[in-house]
Amino acid sequence: MKDRTEKAQDVLESLSKLNFDRIKGYQNAKEDTKDADLLALFSFYEKQSSQFRSDLNSEIVKYGGDIPDDQSFLSDIHQAWMDLKAAVTGKDRDSVLSSCEFGEQTIVAGYEDALDYDDDDTRLPDALEGVIRKQLEELRSAKSRIGALHAQAD
């Protein structure tokens, strides 16, 4: 069984990669829209994930782990999903927001999984759990915002 330090390293690496995917997703979304409001919002969320990733990478170092490189399998999947969707439906506001909503659901689920534990042996250290919960709260807010914009675009 993994100790708490190893679990912390694994969780932090996973969340760092998810934030990398989110950064790439919003960079791609910005290329797919000309709407000024979406460009501003996507830029904000891209910067938010850059900060989250920086904070997580600092925690990785604290727990003796290695900062993950800027490669992620999930970003390839998300890019393929966005490319396919754009090919089928175009790059209108609804399809761009739909892709972003999919990405937000994915990252929120990843954070929720990271905080799901069976017993105290698999629980993250309190300070680290606080960092992750704070980020999750902001990500849930982003998910709600993107979902509301998507509902309006329908």
**In angstroms, what CA-CA distances link 46 with 85, 111, 117?**
21, 17, 29
Q: Tally the domains of the chain.
A: 1
pLDDT of residue 3: 79
CATH number at residue 67: 1.20.1260.10
Domain range for 26 is 4-153
- Within 10 angstroms of residue 120's Cβ, the number of other Cβ atoms is 7
User: Does position 68 have pLDDT exceeding 90, yes or no?
Assistant: no
pLDDT band at 4 (very low <50, low <70, confident <90, very high): confident
Residue 74 or 22, more confident: 22
**68: CB partners within 8 A, 6+ apart:** 13, 16, 17, 20, 60
User: Does position 7 have pLDDT exceeding 80, yes or no?
Assistant: yes
Contact 44, 36 (CB under 8 A): no
pLDDT band at 6 (very low <50, low <70, confident <90, very high): confident
Q: What does the longest C-alpha to C-alpha distance in the chain come to?
A: 50
Residue-wise burial string across 127-150, b where 16 or more C-beta atoms lie within 10 A, e elsewhere: ebbebbeebbeebeebbebbeebb
Q: What is the CA radius of gyration of the chain?
A: 16
pLDDT of residue 88: 47
Q: List the end-to-end C-alpha distance of the chain, in Å, as a whole number.
A: 48
pTM over 0.85: yes
pLDDT digit string, tens, across residues 128-151: 999 999 999 999 999 999 999 999
User: Does position 69 have pLDDT exceeding 90, yes or no?
Assistant: no
